[in-house]
Amino acid sequence: MDGEELTEQETALYDRQIRVWGADAQRRLSKSHILICGMKGTVAEFCKNIVLAGVGSVTLVDDRIVTDESLSVNFLILPHENHYNGKTLAEVCCDSLKEFNHMVHVAVETGDISTFGVEFFEKFDAVIISCCSLGKKKLINQKCRKLSKRVAFYTVECRGSCGEMFVDLLDYKYSKKKLEETIECQIEYPSFEEAISVPWRALPRRVSKLYFAMRVIEQFEDVEGRNPGETTIADLPGVLKLRKELCETNSLDESQIPDALLERLLTDTREFPPVCAIIGGILGQEVIKAISGKGDPLKNFFFFDAMDGKGLIEDISGPSTRS
């Protein structure tokens, strides 16, 4: 360690969490820089979590204006016109987040970051993307991967009672204590594009149905040129057709992607606050682990469905990166 110690203020404020992950981890967090794009309910939860955790800085990107829908699931937006009038989602959230922890620098970045150069991403230790098209997700992921420094990449998407999270930590090395020994661990992660390109028949049996369903919807939105979440029940026939095609290509039985599940994902596109809290919490934990280098990170998808209450991890990777 470089010998810098936590200030008295930090020690007092972070006492309870230092008892969880230690002072070294806290120091590393305080030097980290996080980029977050797409300020919806789940991401708001996530931002709250990492600002409280005491990261160095948080940069928010979302040029959309505040709407009723964004108000309804995002507790960072106060429903007074004075608070949000004329401001973008990022700006409004920035103002609120600053209040949670004065030691964290919160700022706004404008523009379409998928068009920014690779050097823009070098400033960050972790990048979190939400409300983004398939194409943009892949693009940003690629840019991060081009850097010599490791930039952790995450995507998160919640629809109704379901939520999905993806993690790419590239080639991640960390150590942990087991009994009296220190064990060196290494995990290789596929990029988002690599992961979703793994043929479905090559995946372990009994992979969550939600994984497949999300891929179908994602493809549909991509093909139809829709923004994420811009679907209705009227799209069901189109989606079912796409499902048929994808299942044929992948030799997967269509029953693996139930109609009912697709219907839910098409119609319940608004976020459900309890699911935001859950996914935002899991995502927060993952980013904290990756930044601090402490704890086993998950690889590489996490799913939650309030219907069955399971929060599960799926390893979607090709043979070379399968752990």
Partner 1 sequence: MASQEQLSAIKRAKVLMVGAGGIGCELLKTLALSGFQDIHIIDMDTIEVSNLNRQFLFRQSHVGQSKAKVARDAVLRFRPNISITPYHANVESRFNVDFFKEFDVVLNGLDNLDARRHVNRLCLAAGIPLVESGTTGFLGQVTVHLKGKTECYECQPKPAPKTYPVCTITSTPSKFVHCIVWAKDLLFAKLFGDKNQENDLNVHSSDTANSSEHSEDVFECRKDEDIERYGRRIYDHVFGHNIEVALSNEETWKNRNKPRPIYSKDVLPEEQTKENGNEEKGCAADDVSAMVSLSLKNPQDIWSLVENSRVFLEALRLFFLKREKDIGNLTFDKDDQLAVEFVTAAANIRASSFGIPLHSLFEAKGIAGNIVHAVATTNAIIAGLIVIEAIKVLQKDNNNYRMTYCLEHPSRKLLLMPVEPYEPNRSCYVCSETPLSLEVNTQRCKLRDFVEKIIKAKLGMNFPLIMQGASILYEVGEDLEEDMVVIYAANLEKALSELPSPVTSGSVLTVEDLQQEFSCSINIKHREEFDEEKEPDGMLLSGWVEAPVDKDNNKPIGNDESTSNALPSMETLDGDKDDEIQETSEVVEAFAGKKRKLSEVSEVTAPDPSGPSSINQNKPEKLDIDDEDDELIISDDWESFTKKKKL
- Beta bridge partners, 186, equal 173
> Does residue 74 have a cis peptide bond before it, meaning omega lies within 30 degrees of 0?
no
- The reply on whether position 106 binds partner 1 by CB under 8 A is no
- In the bound state with partner 1, the residue whose beta carbon lies nearer, of 181 and 253, is 181
- The reply on whether position 141 binds partner 1 by CB under 8 A is no
- In the bound state with partner 1, the residue whose beta carbon lies nearer, of 121 and 189, is 189
Q: How would you classify the pairing of strands 57-61 and 33-37?
A: parallel
- In the bound state with partner 1, the residue whose beta carbon lies nearer, of 103 and 134, is 103
- The reply on whether position 229 binds partner 1 by CB under 8 A is no
123: which residues sit within 8 A by CB, 6+ positions away? 33, 35
Asked if residue 58 lies in contact with residue 101, where contact means CB atoms within 8 angstroms, the answer is: no
- Beta bridge partners, 37, equal 61, 129
Among positions 81, 115, 148, 177, the unique one binding partner 1 when judged by CB under 8 A: 177
Strands (E), 116-170: 126-130, 152-159, 162-168
Contact region with partner 1 (CB under 8 A), list: 77-85, 116-124, 210-218, 249-257:
77-85
- The reply on whether position 91 binds partner 1 by CB under 8 A is no
Among positions 226, 268, 293, 318, the unique one binding partner 1 when judged by CB under 8 A: 268
Among positions 213, 302, 317, 321, the unique one binding partner 1 when judged by CB under 8 A: 302
* DSSP string covering 253-268: -GGGS-HHHHHHHHH-
Among positions 298, 300, 317, 321, the unique one binding partner 1 when judged by CB under 8 A: 298
- The reply on whether position 285 binds partner 1 by CB under 8 A is yes
Angle at 309 between CA 306 and CA 312, to 5 degrees: 105
Quick count: other Cβ atoms within 10 Å of Cβ 71? 14
Q: Rounded distance, CA 241 to CA 239, Å?
A: 5
- The reply on whether position 198 binds partner 1 by CB under 8 A is no
How many residues bind partner 1, per CB under 8 A? 65
Sites of contact with partner 1 (CB under 8 A): 5, 11-23, 41, 45, 48-49, 52-54, 72-73, 75-79, 99-100, 160, 176-179, 268, 270-278, 280-282, 284-285, 288, 294-296, 298, 302, 304, 306, 308-314
